[in-house]
Structure 1
């Protein structure tokens, strides 16, 4: 697992699909998403609730 995937998993993203060049069915994904790698999704509202308390604005 790459360093970027580990980081994004830790902050709340979930791996949805692993795109590689070894499967013919992944060529469409590579054309749309720009290459091989891991597609990850997250619910933005949940991430905001989880992380907003960590980042407070100071004036």
Structure 2
């Protein structure tokens, strides 16, 4: 795996964790953050479905 891919994966997971922590703390997400969260949640669900079929 290339370092670029690893760096992008790490940044993705940092952002995802930050949004989850904000949501748990009842901090209101801005529209861009909420859209990104929703989009990435859908991508994860799609990947899980593809893995099963």
TM-score, length of structure 1 as denominator length: 0.22
Which structure is higher in helix share? Answer: 2
Which structure is higher in strand share? Answer: 1
Max radius of gyration: which structure? 1
TM-score, length of structure 2 as denominator length: 0.23
